[in-house]
Amino acid sequence: MMSTVICKLIGGFHINLGNAAITKLFEGERDHLIPSVTHELLDRDMFTIAGRMIGHSFLHDGPSFPGLSPTNMHTLFDGSLETTPVMIRDCPDLDIRDAVKMLDGDTELKELDHVHQLCLSWNLPAPNATNRKWLSQKILFHAVIEQTRLQINQLRKGLKETGLWPLLTHRRDVIPILFPRESEAQLTPQMILDCITWPLNVTVFFEGFREEEGDDSDIMDVDRVTAYLKTFIENASPVELKSLIKFWIGWELPTTEMKVEVVEAALPTSSTCFEKLRLPRHYTTYQTFHQDLCACISTSYSGFGCP
């Protein structure tokens, strides 16, 4: 459930505000997400809800919320505005980015109508050769900090309502766990292999009933199929690894005890609640195993464990 909660928080909600069927609470590029400036979301107190979602997921050992902008992280935890690290990548609006780059450069200022309108709406002076550098920083600061201040206040309120705030203020080392950088959460085959609990004994499941003792054929089936899985993980692309983990446990980051079972079944399935991947014993060639597993993990975004 918590995996679904955070997935919705990242991917967006089915809230039609008149311009899209899916409304995202956070916008921007990887590791530079900032709260949406849509006023309707503020009016609905959606960022307070987001704070509760993130806090409860953490408290119930669910996934964290990755990719929040360092700028918003700084302001969320009461960092000084004078020391706020604002980067152009924190601004999701490409038109504002272009205006900032133009003003910060050394080229001649041309076609400034849209910049004039932007400055006027934000009570800033018109650009000229003297103030262009200063103005570029002011526009960026307003786009990233000023426009998201109320959203960050709501997010902080939601975290406080979960009772998590005292821990975050007294143990600053917990903050990167709650809000990890997405770039630091890249999957590697070894990361996944280190988290897998492999079958310790030969136990093959038949339609939900367990056969306690396996014969030689059972041993061969378990060894062969688990070897196929290891081969798949060692040679899979990053996208395939993420799909496999999402199919397996419902989230794209591995947990410490991901279990494997060899079963009597037609296709691979999973039990995300128990972090368990069930692989059919009938595979005798890696090619067939690879084909079926790829087909199944491609369903992870529509229904876990549904081949």
> Would you say how long the chain is, in residues?
307
Q: Is the pLDDT of residue 304 over 90?
A: no
pLDDT of residue 170: 92
Query: Concatenated DSSP letters for 228-291?
Result: HHHHHHHH--HHHHHHHHHHHHSSSS--S-EEEEEEE-SS-EEEGGGTEEEEES---SHHHHHH
Q: Is the pLDDT of residue 99 over 50?
A: yes
How far apart, in Å, are the Cα atoms of 304 and each of 44, 233, 297? 31, 19, 8
The pLDDT-based confidence of 231 (bands split at 50, 70, 90) is very high
Task: With both helix axes pointing from N to C terminus, report the angle between 216-235 and 238-249 in degrees, rounded to the nearest 10.
Answer: 130
As a whole number, mean pLDDT of residues 220-247 equals 91
pLDDT of residue 186: 67
Q: Is the pLDDT of residue 244 over 70?
A: yes
Q: Give Rg (Cα) of the chain.
A: 25
The pLDDT-based confidence of 47 (bands split at 50, 70, 90) is very high
Higher pLDDT, 51 or 61: 51
- Residue 169 phi/psi, 5° resolution? -80, -30
| Bridge partners, residue 68, by sequence | 33
pLDDT of residue 215: 56
What tokens does 190 get? Answer: 């070894």
As a whole number, mean pLDDT of residues 30-49 equals 92
Cβ neighbours of 114 (radius 10 Å)? 12
Whose CA is closest to 97, among 87, 83, 84, 107?
87
Domains and CATH numbers, the chain: 2-84+148-184 (no CATH), 91-144 (no CATH), 186-297 (3.30.2410.10)
Q: Can you tell me the distance from the alpha carbon of 141 to that of 137, in angstroms, rounded to the nearest whole number?
A: 6
Summarize the chain as % helix, strand, coil (round to 5). Answer: 55, 10, 35
pLDDT of residue 80: 80
Q: How would you classify the pairing of strands 269-271 and 276-280? A: antiparallel
pLDDT of residue 299: 79
As a whole number, mean pLDDT of residues 196-225 equals 67
Q: Is the pLDDT of residue 204 over 70?
A: no
- Burial per residue of 289-303, b for 16 or more beta-carbon CB atoms within 10 angstroms, e otherwise: bbebbeebbeebeee
- Lowest-confidence range among 17-21, 95-99, 101-105? 17-21
As a whole number, mean pLDDT of residues 195-209 equals 64
Q: Is the pLDDT of residue 183 over 90?
A: no
How far apart, in Å, are the Cα atoms of 33 and each of 26, 83, 216? 6, 19, 54
The pLDDT-based confidence of 238 (bands split at 50, 70, 90) is confident
Q: How would you classify the pairing of strands 196-197 and 269-271? A: unpaired
As a whole number, mean pLDDT of residues 171-185 equals 85
pLDDT of residue 224: 93
- Burial per residue of 239-268, b for 16 or more beta-carbon CB atoms within 10 angstroms, e otherwise: ebbbbbbbbbbbbbbbeeebbbbbbbbeeb
As a whole number, mean pLDDT of residues 290-302 equals 84
Q: Is the pLDDT of residue 202 over 70?
A: no
Burial bucket for residue 107 (CB in 10 Å: 0-12, 13-18, 19+): exposed
The pLDDT-based confidence of 18 (bands split at 50, 70, 90) is low
- Residues 104-161 pLDDT 10s: 888 877 777 888 888 999 999 988 888 999 999 999 999 999 999 999 999 999 999 9
Whose CA is closest to 112, among 123, 128, 124?
128
pLDDT of residue 233: 94
Owner of token pair 């910060």: 104
Beta strand segments in the chain, E: 26-27, 34-35, 196-197, 204-206, 209-211, 258-264, 269-271, 276-280
Q: Is the pLDDT of residue 205 over 70?
A: no
* Contacting residues for 40 by C-beta, under 8 A, at least 6 apart: 17
Burial bucket for residue 41 (CB in 10 Å: 0-12, 13-18, 19+): buried
Percent of the chain with pLDDT over 70: 89
Higher pLDDT, 98 or 186: 98
Helix (H, G, I), strand (E, B) or coil at 131: coil
